């Protein structure tokens, strides 16, 4: 009797843990196609804990179709990207990395595309705090450098993998629709040159409140 009760409790705990993993993986709307998708829990490598303070700053210049990675106040790397089309624009403002998935499985009603060369989101997914949007790889590398997505930020798979290895949950993502003086300076700075200071968690909250 006790063994049966213990087995029941363990089974319940496992089901609750699986449910938490599924909720944490989350239902995401993929900007590659604008269709609903979800990463299978079995395909989620590991979900990081949110960073107390962002260590990296990701800056996207939508008109330039470029993404800059800033670490410790310096430009580390600039990547070419694809952004949203005019009718399905990328979001703007200050967001943050909300989840990270290696080799995501793509879903839409009636279709499941496992990781591989046909996966519309490529080999990496970095979900943003604005639901339905993310930074990800692609199976259409020819779209990079253009306004071609349904709002997400697309990268070549090798670039998405490189960026994925450098960022963590909680890192700030800024998306700019216009070339102001800061954007012009940032995207003309060479690697290792100074950039604007990295936002702290407190300044992110303050900025998001306005």
Q: Are the C-beta atoms of residues 11 and 112 closer than 8 Å to each other?
A: no
Q: Are the C-beta atoms of residues 122 and 138 closer than 8 Å to each other?
A: yes
Quick one: average pLDDT of 103-108? 84
Q: How confident is the model at residue 65 (pLDDT cuts 50, 70, 90)?
A: very high
Quick one: average pLDDT of 115-125? 93
Please tell me the distance from the alpha carbon of residue 27 to that of residue 41, in angstroms, as a whole number.
Answer: 11
User: What 3-state class would DSSP assign to 207?
Assistant: helix
Quick one: average pLDDT of 3-14? 45
For residue 5, what pLDDT is reported? 41
Domain that holds residue 37: 2-208
Q: Which residues lie closer than 8 Å to 188 by C-beta, 6 or more apart?
A: none
Closest C-alpha to 160, from 133, 134, 189, 186: 134
Centre a 10 Å sphere on the Cβ of residue 85 and count the other Cβ atoms it contains.
14
Candidate from 13-27, 51-65, 167-181, 186-200 with smallest mean pLDDT? 13-27
Q: How far is CA 91 from CA 27, 34, 176, 206, in A?
A: 18, 14, 9, 19
For residue 31, what pLDDT is reported? 38
Q: How confident is the model at residue 189 (pLDDT cuts 50, 70, 90)?
A: low
**H-run or E-run covering 10:** helix 2-25
For residue 82, what pLDDT is reported? 97
- How much is the mean pLDDT over the chain? 75
The pLDDT tens digits for 137-180 are: 999 999 999 999 989 999 999 999 999 999 999 999 999 999 98
Domains of the chain: total: 1
pTM over 0.85? The answer is: no
For residue 72, what pLDDT is reported? 85
Quick one: average pLDDT of 183-197? 65
- So which residues are the catalytic ones? 136, 152
Please tell me the distance from the alpha carbon of residue 185 to that of residue 180, in angstroms, as a whole number.
Answer: 9
User: In CATH, what number is assigned to the domain containing residue 171?
Assistant: 2.40.440.10
Residue 36 has pLDDT above 60, yes or no: no
Residue 13 has pLDDT above 90, yes or no: no
């Amino acid at each position: 009797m006790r063994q049966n009760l213990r087995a029941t409790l363990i089974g319940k705990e496992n089901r609750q843990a699986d449910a938490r993993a599924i909720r944490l993986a989350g239902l995401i709307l993929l900007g590659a196609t604008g269709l609903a998708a979800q990463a299978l829990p079995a395909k989620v490598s590991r979900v990081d804990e949110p960073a107390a303070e962002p260590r990296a700053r990701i800056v996207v210049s939508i008109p330039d179709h470029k993404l800059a990675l800033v670490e410790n106040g310096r430009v580390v790397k600039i990547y070419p990207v694809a952004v949203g089309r005019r009718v399905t624009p990328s979001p703007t403002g200050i967001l943050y990395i909300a989840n990270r998935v290696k080799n995501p499985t793509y879903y839409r009603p009636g279709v499941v595309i496992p990781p591989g060369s046909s996966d519309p989101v490529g080999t990496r997914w970095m979900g943003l705090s604005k639901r339905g949007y993310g930074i990800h790889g692609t199976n259409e590398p020819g779209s990079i450098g253009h306004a071609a997505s349904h709002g997400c930020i697309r990268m070549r798979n090798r670039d998405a993998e490189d960026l994925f290895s450098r960022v963590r949950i909680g890192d700030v993502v800024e998306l700019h629709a216009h070339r102001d003086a800061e954007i012009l300076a940032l995207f003309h700075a060479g690697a290792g040159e100074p950039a604007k200071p990295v936002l702290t968690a407190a300044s992110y909250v303050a900025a998001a409140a306005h």
